[in-house]
Amino acid sequence: MMRTDARNRNRTQSRRRGLTMIELLAAVLMVSIAAAGAAATWTLASRVVATKRITEMGAYVALQQMDRLKARKYSSLAYTAEDAPLVDWYDKNGQWLGNSSSSPAVTTGYFQTKSWVRQIVNRDATTNTEDLAQVEVRVLNTAGTRTYEDIYTLLTFGGI
């Protein structure tokens, strides 16, 4: 009796030692699904980095252009019409290339900025240093079809 139980136990253990084909197939299927998900995530993650760089560079270019305008003397800022903004060009690294009035004239780059200087408050109906001006900078792609950043600020000479 004892011998029969030992043989049955040995047979059961020998059957359990390896994997069946179904178990192996299920394991391979799970690993394949996980690998496909990882590959898809890798592709998406690599695209996100490039898109983030362009977007962040747009914000950097906008701030650089705003600082360029704010560095001018208040009295030398000319008000611009809605349909005639100041257009400047920057390369993909955010370096200023110039504009159509610079020497030499520049008419293309990786980013274009359109800037407007508008009169918001005119206290005494005379254009002078008592006015409040609004500066807007919009950063677009080369074709001007996609806006990356649009920022505003108010400028005043400080006199009353």
Q: What is the pLDDT of residues 46-61, one digit of tens each?
A: 777 777 777 789 899 9
Six token digits for residue 16: 């359990």
Instruction: Give the model confidence (pLDDT) of 108-140 as tens digits.
Output: 889 999 999 998 888 787 777 778 889 999 999
pLDDT tens, residue by residue, 29-45: 999 999 988 888 887 77
d(CA 119, CA 76): 13
**How many Å apart are CA 62 and CA 152, to the nearest integer?**
10
**pTM (2 d.p.):** 0.65
Determine which helix (DSSP H) or strand (DSSP E) holds 73, and give its type and residue range. none
- Answer for the pair 94, 64: CB distance below 8 angstroms, yes or no: yes
